[in-house]
Amino acid sequence: MKLWKTLTMSAAALAVMTPAAMAEWQPRKPVEFIIMAGTGGGADQIARLLQGLIEKHDLSPRPFIPINKPGGSGAEALRYLQDKAGDDHTVMMTLNSFYTTPIIQEDLGVDVTQFTPIGLMAMDTFLLWVNSDRDDITDLDSYVSTVKEAGLDWKVGGTGSGQEDSVLTAMMEAAFDYEVTYIPFPGGGTVAKNLVGNQIDSTVNNPAEQMEFWRAGNTKPLVQFTAERMPAFPDVPTAKELDVDIEYYMQRSVNGPPGMSPEAVEWYTNLFQTLFDSEEWQEFCKSDGLTCETMMKGEELAEFHATQKDAHVALIEQVGADAITGE
Amino acid sequence: MTVRTAELLMAIATLLMSLGLMLNVYTDELNIGWVEGRGPGAGVWPFWLSAGMALASLATLYRWFRGKTPESRSDAPYIDPETLFLVAVSAASLLGLLILMQIVGTYLSLMIFMVLYVRILGHHSWGTTMAFVIGTPVFVYLLFEVALTKYLPKGLPFFEEGFLFIDNLRYEWFY
Amino acid sequence: METILVSLGSGLLQAFEPLNLFMIFAGCLAGLFVGCMPGLGSVNGVAILLPVTFLVPPTAAIIFLAALYYGAMYGGAISSITLGIPGASTAVATVFDGRPMAQAGKADQALMAAAIASFIGGTVSIILFTLFAPPLAAFALKFGPQEEFALMLLAFATFVGLGGDDIPKTIFSILLGLVLAAVGFDIISGQPRMIFFDMVEFQRGIGFLVLAIGVYGVGEMLWTLESTAGKVQMHSVKITVSRMKQNLLQVKEYINSTWVGSVLGFFVGTLPAAGATPASLMSYGLSKTFSKDPDSFGKGNVSGVAAPEAANNAASTGSMLPMITLGIPGSPTTAILLGGMIIWGLRPGPLLFTESPDFVWGLIGSMYVANFATVILNIALIPVFIRVLAMPFTLLTPIIFTLCVLGVFATTDRMFDTWIMLIIGVAAYLLRKLNYPVAPAVLAIVLGPLAERSMRQSLISSQGDPMTFLERPISLVCILIAVALVSYPMVAKFLKRNKAVEAAE
């Protein structure tokens, strides 16, 4: 009886509250902040940093709960978000497997252009790293000739077949016409450790994953795959400067499920804009070699996703899905 | 059912399961052989270990026919009829709890679960029962939702709205 | 050496600052509480931390987190002993002997042994940590996939003889665990494997905790319900001062296992891939192999509680080492710790020691103090934990079922996993009634993914040449030890028989 009363009362209260809520949308329950990668990786670090900042600056009336859904290079997360269509309390931190996973796994039934774009928080970059013990490798040319000589004995570490770095590795194989042995490890940190320990010979890592080893003099970057040299690495040439046509970025954007209500989209966009403009975030971008000049959002981001998706389809076709899965 | 029959049936079941696993890996077109220069393919581990499971099941079958295991010689009932009720009710109540959680949400289903267990099965006093019926959801709410910021299943939208009404009070009063 | 002592001294002073000291006790208590809930562990405890970090300086916050981590390690043993459900993968081995001890009315002894062994393990490893952090970090770097695989072989080898008497059923159980571990995405080829009924949820794989809670929570509960017909299952214990004293003195019985577990745990813990679970399993296995009375293991031998507990606490300290010196998390919890450090503007990596010495030594100092805090809290709380056992079964069962369901849900936020837990629980119950040992399956699902991945990584890097495992010194040594361990029981038996023959002649 008591229970029934509570329920009817709550229903009545909700009915009264609804119009007010429409005017200015706000989350009414904790927001699931899905991360399409495991704990400890780049995406996870960023999502937890953002969550911390939301809490610190009291930006949301309800907490953001980070939930890792790393299954199948993000396939699990993508399907989860797809099935949450129309939900206003779920957002996802994405990386490039946002594009590659639905291409490689055709039967997943996810079209990422259907998702609701919220904000592009940063563009992450890639550099080619070797252990600093390798005195014989000083630039890209000596790298390529050493790799060609070593052939399949050359071991490149990465975070898994079908992940961004395997795509980039395949692109390099195509560009330089050599073949290497690609060894997948569970996470960028492990890759870095294996490079420092000389278990692998080279890797394409994000700056954040190598930064500390580089500062300690354990590893060195040879080339960056960006359009222009990054401020953090003024002495490292870009591939374009060396007449190699490889430019590759990792997008780190926040997206919602398909069919999110416009009011909610507006609220989230404003929230992430505030985060983007915060001192802490800009500081993080600078120290981790991320590019964060303006936050792409709405239509612009949707277009960006569409072009990126097409680019990845072309890319995967060019290097061949086999080159990426390695079987 | 005697233990003897049960062991035979279980060995057959595990054998079929092992073969099913092998078939599953095989039809997924995973490589179950050695890839030149790369070592074992993606299907090697699950396929051949499942094959091992099948062999182990066959060995158990063989031992059953030869009467080598103590179970194969036992005519005692597999599940004691006197306690069958208790075990079945427990498993079923857990099943019910999981189903209810998805319909009426975690908290209501826990209350129902507690009434069933403490009052109906345990014959405890109404005082104890109510302590559990009220205490468990409160404890769970404080631990999972407040301290650990987990969002437990809330069931259908109607029940979720009801919960959110209570949850709103928390934010209004404490933040 | 001197500089170490000076730095350590300042670190200890920092730990004794009132705020930090408070943080240590609060963290231990919170960790203890979270750790003893099945399914919840230090990883979940991090959620509690976040609001705290905005109120206090980074050093105090990381001290809180480290204390929470310790507390949770101890807490895992509490649920393993009193409820028979491993609170975390690190506490699986504690169930093997802790549960029988509790059933025999010796829960207080088991809890005391766990507390003291954990304390020794934690303290030994923090001392090793203080003295040898830099060279150990260098050693950890030598561990490639080949060495990891050899280490996994070693872990399996320590477990020979853990299963029951029925060899085909034991093998079936191990293999089942290994196969279930392969469900989901293959990290090497990126292909989905064994996605049953095309359910996308299987892509995530079957988590260890889902299996462990299914087997030990649901399965064990059904088993106990049947075998006791719903009567009160365990002897309640009356705690008196003299009994506590007696329990303390019992330390002689398990001190050897504890030392071995502590050192082993620390070294295995420092290896980035391994962590505390293999460490505790290996420690249990070793202590059984070299025990004078190996048959009593699994039936309530106090060394069987002390060995894994010493090892898992030592390993949890050890796993901080690669995090602090290399910036590589040795466990999921340290991964989140790492995230926390970044939020506070600290950069874990090879330079942390030189760039933020106050922070590092404050953390190390607090680890010493946290160890004391947890052991005191633990022993003081034993009477409280024991009360759980005195509860009538019809009250305990619904509580345990609730904790199982919510604990499994909390680890992955998926109802799907709770269904898998129920299915596994019922299956485990049915299998167990037919004398299928279930522990090997639980171990196999923990070690399986590590073993498969490292084996295939090694073979890819050697281009398919299996000799790679024998060509590398560390890996060769591990494999030789593994072979020796497997053959040891047979050799021992042979020697014994020879002696008997000689004596007869």
Q: Is A5 left (phi over 0), alpha (psi -120 to 50) or beta?
A: alpha
Mutate to test the interface with B, among A8, A28, A48, A51 (most CBs of B within 10 A): A28
CA gap C182, B55 in Å, rounded: 19
Tokens representing residue C163 in the block:
């299963």
Q: Is A297 left (phi over 0), alpha (psi -120 to 50) or beta?
A: beta
Tokens representing residue C323 in the block:
């995090």
Contact status, residue C187 vs residue C181, Cβ threshold 8 Å: no
CA gap B98, C300 in Å, rounded: 34
CA geometry: angle C354, C355, C358, nearest 5 deg = 85
Residues 303-322 of C with CB under 8 A from B: none
User: Which segments in chain B show pLDDT lower than 50?
Assistant: none
What percent of chain C has a predicted confidence (pLDDT) above 70?
89
How far is the CA of C193 from the CAs of B30, B147, C160, C212, in angstroms? 8, 37, 29, 22
Which residues of C fall within a CB distance of 8 Å from B144?
406, 410
CA gap C399, B106 in Å, rounded: 14
**Residue B139 has what pLDDT?**
92
Given an 8 Å threshold on Cβ–Cβ distance, is C189 in contact with B118?
Answer: no
Which residues of A fall within a CB distance of 8 Å from C187?
160-161, 184, 186
Of B21, B87, B113, the CB nearest to C225: B87
Residue among B40, B83, A161 nearest C190 (CA) = A161
Given an 8 Å threshold on Cβ–Cβ distance, is B42 in contact with C37?
Answer: no
pLDDT surpasses 90 at C490: no
Of A51, A75, A104, the CB nearest to C203: A75
pLDDT surpasses 60 at C505: no
Average pLDDT in chain C: 82
How far is the CA of C53 from the CAs of A21, A120, C42, C147, C264, in angstroms? 32, 27, 16, 38, 33
Mutate to test the interface with C, among B38, B100, B107 (most CBs of C within 10 A): B38
Which residues of B fall within a CB distance of 8 Å from A161?
none
CA gap C410, B151 in Å, rounded: 9
CA gap C87, C79 in Å, rounded: 6
Average pLDDT over residues C368-382: 88
CA gap C131, B15 in Å, rounded: 54
pLDDT digits 0-9 by tens, A249-305:
889 999 999 999 999 999 999 999 999 999 889 988 887 778 888 888 888 999 999
**Residue A40 has what pLDDT?**
64
Number of alpha helices (DSSP H) and beta strands (DSSP E) in chain C: 23, 2
Residue among C371, C440, C468, C409 nearest C31 (CA) = C371
Q: Is B31 left (phi over 0), alpha (psi -120 to 50) or beta?
A: beta
Residues 203-232 of A with CB under 8 A from C: 211-213, 215-216, 218
State how far residue C11 is from chain B, nearest Cα, in angstroms: 30
Interchain CB contact of C294 with B (< 8 Å): no
Mutate to test the interface with A, among B168, B171, B173 (most CBs of A within 10 A): B168
Q: In chain B, where are the structural domains located?
A: 3-73, 81-174
CA gap C66, C316 in Å, rounded: 10
Given an 8 Å threshold on Cβ–Cβ distance, is A14 in contact with B161?
Answer: yes
Which residue carries 């000589």 as its tokens? A149
Residues 66-125 of C with CB under 8 A from B: none
State how far residue A305 is from chain B, nearest Cα, in angstroms: 30
pLDDT surpasses 60 at A13: no
Strands C184-185 and C192-193: antiparallel
> Which domains, ranges and CATH numbers included, belong to chain A?
31-124+249-319 (3.40.190.150), 127-247 (3.40.190.10)
Residues 154-173 of B with CB under 8 A from C: none
Given an 8 Å threshold on Cβ–Cβ distance, is A11 in contact with B162?
Answer: yes
CA gap C32, C377 in Å, rounded: 9
State pTM to two decimals: 0.85
State how far residue A10 is from chain C, nearest Cα, in angstroms: 26
CA gap C479, C470 in Å, rounded: 8
Q: Strand A249-256's sheet: what is its strand order?
A: A64-68, A31-35, A90-93, A249-256, A116-125, A296-297
Residues 358-397 of C with CB under 8 A from B: 392, 394-395, 397
Residues 106-145 of B with CB under 8 A from C: 106, 110, 113-114, 117-118, 121-124, 128, 132, 136, 140, 143-144
Residue among B110, B100, B163 nearest B132 (CA) = B110
Concatenated DSSP letters of C346-374? ---STTHHHH-HHHHHHHHHHHHHHHHHH
Given an 8 Å threshold on Cβ–Cβ distance, is B167 in contact with A13?
Answer: no
CA gap C222, C218 in Å, rounded: 6
CA gap C432, C215 in Å, rounded: 10
pLDDT digits 0-9 by tens, C445-478:
888 888 898 899 899 888 888 888 998 988 999 8
How far is the CA of A90 from the CAs of A117, A137, A275, B150, in angstroms? 12, 47, 17, 14
Show which subunits contact C, needing at least 3 CB pairs below 8 angstroms. A, B
Concatenated DSSP letters of C255-275? HHHHHHHHHHHHHHHHSTTT-
Of A11, A32, A62, the CB nearest to B161: A11
Which residues of C fall within a CB distance of 8 Å from A156?
none
**Residue A261 has what pLDDT?**
92
Which residues of C fall within a CB distance of 8 Å from A32?
413
Tokens representing residue C460 in the block:
């890819």
**Residue A15 has what pLDDT?**
45
Contact status, residue C220 vs residue C423, Cβ threshold 8 Å: no
DSSP A30: P
| B134 or C229: which leads in pLDDT | B134
pLDDT surpasses 70 at C236: no
How far is the CA of A226 from the CAs of A124, A139, B114, B173, C315, in angstroms? 10, 16, 61, 51, 41
pLDDT digits 0-9 by tens, B38-86:
788 888 999 999 999 999 999 999 999 998 888 888 888 888 777 888 8
**Residue C114 has what pLDDT?**
92
| C492 or A82: which leads in pLDDT | A82
Contact status, residue C205 vs residue C185, Cβ threshold 8 Å: yes
Which residue carries 């006197």 as its tokens? B82
Residues of chain A whose beta carbon is less than 8 angstroms from a beta carbon of chain B are 3, 6-7, 9-11, 13-14, 28-30, 32, 61-63, 65, 152, 326-327
Given an 8 Å threshold on Cβ–Cβ distance, is A11 in contact with B168?
Answer: no
- Taking CA–CA distances from B63, the nearest residue in chain C reads C168
State how far residue C320 is from chain A, nearest Cα, in angstroms: 14
Of C191, C351, C457, the CB nearest to A212: C351
State how far residue B137 is from chain A, nearest Cα, in angstroms: 14
SS3 C331: coil
**Best-predicted range by mean pLDDT (A170-174, A273-277, C23-27):** A273-277
ipTM: 0.93
Q: Give the pLDDT band of residue C310 (cuts 50, 70, 90).
A: very high
| B128 or C352: which leads in pLDDT | B128
CA gap A223, A176 in Å, rounded: 14
Of B69, B83, B97, the CB nearest to C226: B83
Which residue carries 């005697």 as its tokens? B2
Given an 8 Å threshold on Cβ–Cβ distance, is C339 in contact with A45?
Answer: yes
CA gap C97, A152 in Å, rounded: 50
Tokens representing residue C287 in the block:
């202590």
pLDDT surpasses 60 at A9: no
Residues 54-83 of B with CB under 8 A from C: 56-57, 59-60, 63, 69-71, 78-80, 82-83
Residue among B110, B96, B114 nearest B145 (CA) = B110
Strands A155-158 and A202-205: parallel
Span between the terminal Cα atoms of chain A, in Å: 63
CA geometry: angle A218, A224, A228, nearest 5 deg = 135
| A17 or C239: which leads in pLDDT | C239
CA gap B9, B15 in Å, rounded: 10
